[in-house]
Amino acid sequence: MTLKSKYYIWLITFMLCTLHLTAQTTTSRQSSHLSVAPAESMGMSSERLERIDNMLKQSLVDNTIPGAVALIARNGKIVFHEAYGNAEANGKKLKRDAIFRIASQSKAITSTAVMMLWEEGKFRLDDPISQYIPEFKNPEVLVNFKYADTTYTTRPANKEITIRHLLTHTSGIGYGAIDKDERMKMIYDKAGTIDLFTTAPVTIKDVVLKIAQLPLHHNPGEQYTYSLGLDVLGYFVEVISGMTFQDYLLKHLFIPLGMNDTNFYFSASKSDRLVAIQHKVNDRWENYPNTFYDVNYPIEGAKTFFSGGAGLSSTAKDYATFLQMFLNGGELNGKRFLSRTTIASMMGNQTGDLYGGGDQYYGLAFGVLTEQGQAKGGLGSQGTFIWGGYFNTQYFADPKENLIGIILKQTQGSTGDQTSWKFKQMVEASIDD
C-alpha cells in the first residue's frame, strides 16, 4: 500500500468518526429501532386494538375523515400500524408510509434541536434572545390600534424576550395569519411576514428579522400566547450552529435517528407519497386549493423557508421513532441525543397556571398531563406529553406506560371528525398487563 493510499484511508476514517461524534454521542444503552411485535407480547390486547381498527373504518363510512394512518407502539415495539381511506380525492389509496404535513408537531423537533445545543453549553435558557439576534433588543408592546389605516402605538416591554419565553409561547410574539387577535393579523400582514407554508424564495432569517420589529401582545412571561416563537428559534439554531436549520436537523437528528422521511421539503422521488389536504364540499371530499398558504409547499417552489414552528412533514413511523427516543430517556439504538436530565426539564412545568386549566401544563414545546388530567380519564397517565398539527395530526406519548399513539390525517375545516379523542382513549384502554 502506498503512502498516498494510507493517507486517504486515514482521512476517510477521520471524517466518518468526526461525523459520528458531531451527530450524537455513544452510550452504554442499546435500545433498538422500532420494530413490529405481537400485541400480547407487549401487554396490549389485540381484541381491543381491533376496536380501534373498527372505529377508524366506521369513520370512513360516516364520511367524517377521508383517510388516516394510525400507529401504536409499546415498549419500543409497534403493535398496530394501519392505513385507511384515500390519500387524495381522486381515490388514491393511503399507505402506511404516506408523508403528512405535521405542521405544529414540528415544534417539538425544534425544541429538541435547541436543547441539544443547550447541552453543549452554547447558551442559557434565560438569556435574552437579543444576545444572539440583536434585532430583538428593546421589544415594544401593542397599546392602541387603528383599523382604518393599521397604525398603532406601543410602549416599552418591561423585560427582554428570553429563549425560554420563545420555547413556552410566553414571549408575546404573535402568529400572523392564524393569530386570534385581528389587530396582530393586520400588523403582520402589512409587515409582509410569512407565517406558515410557502413556495416563495424567502428564508426563515428574512421573516424572523421582520418579526423582531413588530409589537408584542403583552410583556414577555406574563401570558401564554401561541406564537411564532419556534420559528424564531429555528433561525436561532442557525445562528448558534453556523448551519442551515434543515442541515442541522438532518445531521444531528433525522439521519442518526433513521427518520429518512422527515424534512421540510422532498424530492420528486417522494412527492407521490405526500398526502393531499382535503375538505368537504357538499358532503364530498375534495383536494384543498391554495389560499393564504400553498398546499404543495413540501414538494414545489424555492424550498428555502425552514419553519421551526410548522414546516416539517413526516410519516407515522418516523415521528414514533422521535417520540420513542424521548421515552428511552434521550437514547435510541446506542446513540444519545439528550440526557434524561434534560428531558426531565423539558417535561417540567414551565408556565405555571398560564396554560392548561389544571389538566395540563406546558413544558418546553410539549403539553404535559397532570395528575388532575389523568384522573379525568381517556388522556393517559400523569406525565403524558401531547400535541398536534394544523392539518389534523395528533400524537401522545405516555412515559409511565411506555406507550405511543399517533394518528395522522390531512383535512381542513370542520368535518365532524371525532377520531382524535376516540383514538387516544381507546389506545390507553387497550393496555392489558
Q: Which CATH number belongs to the domain containing residue 40 in this structure? A: 3.40.710.10
Measured CA angle at 132 (ends 119, 301), to 5 deg: 95
- For residue 249, give the 3-state DSSP assignment: helix
Flag whether 19 is in a domain: no
Q: Quote the cell numbers at residue 188.
A: 403582520
Number of domains in the chain: 2
* Domain finish residue from 197, 226, 241: 241
**pTM assigned to the model:** 0.93
Separation CA 254–CA 110 (nearest Å): 12
Separation CA 351–CA 315 (nearest Å): 30
Average pLDDT, the chain: 93
Of 193, 181, 130, the residue nearest 157 (C-alpha): 130
Q: Are residues 98 and 131 in the same domain?
A: no
Separation CA 295–CA 277 (nearest Å): 7
Of 232, 234, 236, 209, the residue nearest 132 (C-alpha): 236
Q: What is the pLDDT of residue 23?
A: 47
Q: Are residues 185 and 236 in the same domain?
A: yes
Separation CA 224–CA 168 (nearest Å): 8
Q: What is the pLDDT of residue 7?
A: 39
pLDDT per 10-residue tile (average), the chain, 433 residues: 43 42 65 93 98 98 98 98 97 97 98 98 98 98 98 98 98 96 97 90 96 98 97 98 98 98 96 97 95 93 96 98 98 96 97 90 95 95 97 98 98 94 98 96
Flag whether 366 is in a domain: yes
Return the CATH number at 150: 1.20.58
Flag whether 21 is in a domain: no
φ, ψ at 390 (rounded to 5°): -55, -35
Flag whether 84 is in a domain: yes
Flag whether 288 is in a domain: yes
As beta bridge partners, residue 85 has 67
Q: Are residues 134 and 228 in the same domain?
A: yes
Q: Which residues contact 73 (CB under 8 A, 6 or more apart)?
A: 34, 79, 320, 324, 403, 404
Separation CA 103–CA 107 (nearest Å): 8
Q: Are residues 275 and 329 in the same domain?
A: yes
Q: How many CB atoms lie within 10 A of CB 224?
A: 17
Q: Are residues 316 and 226 in the same domain?
A: no
Flag whether 186 is in a domain: yes
Q: What is the pLDDT of residue 392?
A: 97
Q: Are residues 84 and 167 in the same domain?
A: no
Of 370, 356, 317, 325, the residue nearest 343 (C-alpha): 325
Q: What is the pLDDT of residue 90?
A: 93
Q: Containing domain of residue 289, as a range?
A: 35-102+265-304+312-428
Q: What is the pLDDT of residue 102?
A: 98
Q: Are residues 61 and 161 in the same domain?
A: no
What does 327-376 look like in DSSP terms, one character per residue?
HTTSEETTEESS-HHHHHHHTS-SSGGGSSBTTEEE-SS-EEE-HHHHHH
Measured CA angle at 364 (ends 324, 294), to 5 deg: 80
Flag whether 402 is in a domain: yes
Q: Are residues 157 and 217 in the same domain?
A: yes
**Residues composing the chain:** 433
Separation CA 196–CA 307 (nearest Å): 7
Q: Are residues 87 and 227 in the same domain?
A: no
Q: What is the pLDDT of residue 292?
A: 87
Q: What sign has the CA pseudo-torsion 142, 145, 151, 152?
A: negative
Q: What is the pLDDT of residue 380?
A: 96
Of 122, 232, 115, the residue nearest 172 (C-alpha): 232
Q: Are residues 297 and 395 in the same domain?
A: yes
- For residue 294, give the 3-state DSSP assignment: coil
What does 127-184 look like in DSSP terms, one character per residue?
SBGGGTSGGGSS-EEEEEE-TTT--EEEEE-SS--BHHHHHTT-S----GGG-S-HHH
Flag whether 371 is in a domain: yes
**Which pairs from 345-353 meet CB under 8 Å and 24+ separation?**
346/111, 346/115, 347/383, 347/385, 347/399, 350/164, 350/167, 350/168, 351/168, 351/170, 351/224
Q: Are residues 285 and 402 in the same domain?
A: yes
Q: Are residues 299 and 416 in the same domain?
A: yes
Taking each helix axis from N to C terminus, what angle separates 46-61 and 419-428, rounded to the nearest 10 degrees? 170
- For residue 430, give the 3-state DSSP assignment: coil
